[in-house]
Structure 1
């Protein structure tokens, strides 16, 4: 008997969920039917398109866009200033956080 891929996916999903429960792991999933599951990712995608793709385009080729994307991601993750954390870059906030942690806290 052949199964449709959707049926197989449901079967595997149940087994996967059962295996997580056996291991004492709580799956990280959103609730069914809401629109918040991908909200953060879509926000970042929107910023990327607004700040880089549309503002600095048109692009000559995909390689140029890929190289510019690498630079934008580096800036976004390491150098942009964030008001909620004191107008410092995320990388600096992370360094400050770990500098305040006790060595035993980081091991645990």
Structure 2
């Protein structure tokens, strides 16, 4: 029986040890389950297409400065999300809070 190929780079002992030293826990789904990381992959694609490829990041300082701005000012406040009925996360949360009140 042939097993699907795992991402060896993320399962390596060296990588797992580095995570442990940093106090982090790796996130890996079961073998053959491509959906575990779908939300993160979708966000990364959006970030790359709508910000990184357009303006480029030259340094870690660029990332530290611009990534929070992209998340707060674009991704959460302006960008429509199909999973939220084509509303922004900000609009969705406001409407959810109003319904709960």
Higher relative contact order (CA 8 A, sep 6+): 2
Higher helix share: 1
CA RMSD of aligned residues (A): 2.7
Cα 1:35–1:78 change in 2 (3 A) is same
- For residues 26-80 of structure 1, the C-alpha deviation after alignment (integer angstroms, 9 at most, x for no partner) is xxx95542211112211111111121111111x3422123211111111212332
Structure 2 counterpart of 1:44: 43
Give the unaligned 5+ runs of structure 2. Answer: 1-12, 14-27
For structure 1, the 5+ residue unaligned runs are 1-5, 7-28, 103-108
Give the TM-score normalised by the residue count of structure 2: 0.57
Which ranges of 4 or more aligned residues in structure 1 deviate by more than 3 Å?
A: 29-32, 82-88
Structure-1-length-normalised TM-score: 0.54
Task: State how many pairs are aligned.
Answer: 75
Which of the two has higher C-alpha Rg? 1
Q: Partners of 1:31 and 1:60 in 2: how far apart?
A: 35
